[in-house]
Amino acid sequence: MTRCLVCAAPTRPFLSFGPMPLANGFLREDEFAAEEFHPLEAALCASCAMPQLVHPVPRERMFNERYPFFTASSSAMAAHFARFAADVRRRWLSAADPLVVEIGSNDGTLLRHFAVSGTRHVGVEPSANVAAVALAAGVRCTQRFFDEDTASDIAAAHGRADAILAANCFCHVADLNALARSLDILLARDGVVVFEDPYAGDILARCAYDQIYDEHVYYFSATAVARWLAPHGFELIDVARQEVHGGSMRYALARTGAHPVGDSVAALLAEERSRGLDGIAPFLDLARAVSRSREALVALLREAKSGGKRVAGYGATSKSTTLLNYCGITPELVEFISDTTPLKQGKFSPGMHIPVRPHGDFAARPPDYALLFAWNHAAEILAKERAFREAGGRWIVYVPEVKVLD
Ligand code: TMP
Ligand code: ZN
């Protein structure tokens, strides 16, 4: 029996993908032989209802100087973070000369909005290469993991934070209790923590099983977040849905009693209760849907192949690593993956070793079908690639269901 990483109660596994390579482990041919694999299995805690991985991968294996994900690679995400910054400023930054800290500040896309207006800010980012981009853009950041020592050092140097922000970061942190203690050290008495991550409710509703990969240790719901925070003296004060990353939730939390609790919190908790998100049933439904989805996608790709059609992937996302390896999609079925990130180009996808090529290759010799791995950026990409469709190219999507777009 495995125990919950948050509250140590027994957990119930609901999905097992078997051994998986690192989701962001894009690699060269001479690295194939030494590629590492870790078991990927998801479970639900019977007590705190936190959906989680059973075997979290050590953080240093994933977040290092080779981390190939840059927030600014999507223009829609850049616009989203401009709105995020404006929202934080309007709703939560009433202190004079406030301090804003972002955990997992990546290339500084969010903090830039505070830097340009002269707001005191600090980013915390363990991956050296992305942190360097933030520094070059004039964003103050410190290259390390966020833990109790980091929190104490920032508080000692700059004072306590009025707002602590995080986007697509907290779900990556295996030790959530240490994270809560670190927030407690750094947050001002009336401060607010605002974080957003992919939402369990959307993963279930959309069968977005490719959100499950090594970096995502948790699949938060408001129910699970509230139960995690309560013993640490924090409570949810606001929640807001976000469409980014395939369906996310933004949570605002504060010290218990420090701020009024918005109506959105009770409403979402009630909705989750009615959907049964604190029980195993919807997660077992997901497991069944996942296996049907694999059958449909592999059948579609085999049919394209036998019809002599060329298929290329679009966006070498971390999510695609789960999909490709679980479905066993080799370069036989998907010829190459187009991606705009220089660090991924010329390398191969983890596990299945599909070549990653610059977008120029896609544009120069468009495939018959483009398999949209970056489905969370669908609106941006379909608008940008109108010419592909006009020239007869077709999109294959698999979330919420496998189909060819007409
Ligand atoms: P994400 O789904 O984790 O945000 O990763 C998106 C990946 O897709 C990233 O490697 C950049 C790539 N990408 C493209 O190649 N073209 C695009 O138009 C967009 C939006 C993303
Ligand atoms: Zn638990």
What is the C-alpha separation between 330 and 336, in angstroms, rounded?
10
Q: Which token pair is 88?
A: 């934080």
For the segment 321-356, what is each residue's pLDDT rounded down to a tens digit?
999 999 999 999 999 999 999 999 999 999 999 999
Query: Max CA-CA distance within the chain?
Result: 66
Q: Compute CA 343 distance to the chain's CA centroid, rounded to the nearest angstrom.
A: 19
pLDDT tens digits along 120-129: 999 999 999 9
How high is the mean pLDDT of the chain? 97
**Digit-coded pLDDT (tens) for 237-248:** 999 999 999 999
Ligand nearest to the CA of 45: 2
CA distance 403 to 311: 14
pTM for this entry: 0.96
Ligand 1 site, residue 337, Cβ cutoff 6 A:
no
Q: Establish whether residue 182 lines the binding site of ligand 1, counting it when its CB lies within 6 angstroms of any ligand atom.
A: no
pLDDT band per the 50, 70, 90 thresholds, residue 136: very high
Ligand 1 atom closest to 377 (CA): 20
In 8-74, which ranges are continuous DSSP H helix? 59-62
**Per-residue pLDDT at 228:** 98
For the ranges 51-60, 64-73, 196-205, which has the lowest average pLDDT?
64-73
For residue 66, pLDDT over 90 is answered with no
pLDDT in tens, 163-195: 999 999 999 999 999 999 999 999 999 999 999
Q: What is the DSSP letter of 100?
A: E
Which residues, other chains included, contact 92 with Cβ-Cβ below 8 Å and sequence gap of 6+?
162, 163, 192, 194, 252
Mutation probe of ligand 1 site: the residue of 70, 317, 319, 336 with most atoms within 8 A of C-beta: 317
> Mean pLDDT throughout 207-235?
98
In percent, the amount of the chain with pLDDT more than 90 equals 96
Q: Helix, strand, or coil here: 194? A: strand
Which residues does residue 11 pair with via DSSP β-bridges, in sequence order? 45
What was the pLDDT predicted at 285?
98
Query: How many other CB atoms are there within 10 angstroms of residue 280's CB atom?
Result: 18
HSE (CB half, 13 Å, CA atoms) of 41?
A: 13
Amino acid residing at 114: F
DSSP code of residue 219: -
Give the Å distance between the CA of 71 and the centre of ligand 1: 9
Structure tokens at 259: 């701020």
Measured between alpha carbons, how far is 170 from 207 in angstroms, rounded to an integer? 22
SS3 content of the chain, % helix, strand, coil (to 5): 40, 25, 35
Closest CA to 3 of 59, 37, 50: 50
**Ligand 1: does its nearest atom lie under 6 Å from the Cβ of 341?**
yes
Please name the residue that has the structure tokens 């004039």: 138
Find, among 312, 327, 300, the residue nearest to 374 by Cα.
Answer: 312
Confidence label for 78 from pLDDT (cuts 50, 70 and 90): very high
For residue 344, give the ligand 1 atom closest to its CA: 10
Q: Calculate how far, in angstroms, residue 50's C-alpha sits from the geometric centre of ligand 2.
A: 6
Q: What are the tens digits of pLDDT across the range 352-372?
A: 999 999 999 999 999 999 999
Distance 4 CA to ligand 2 centre (A): 5
How many degrees, rounded to 5, is the angle at CA 11 between CA 264 and CA 246?
A: 45
Sheet strands (E) in 328-404: 337-338, 356-357, 369-372, 394-397, 403-404
Determine the pLDDT at residue 68. Answer: 83
> Residue 406 — pLDDT band, cuts 50, 70, 90?
confident
Confidence of residue 257 (pLDDT cuts 50, 70, 90): very high
Q: How far apart are CA 340 and CA 359, in angstroms?
A: 6
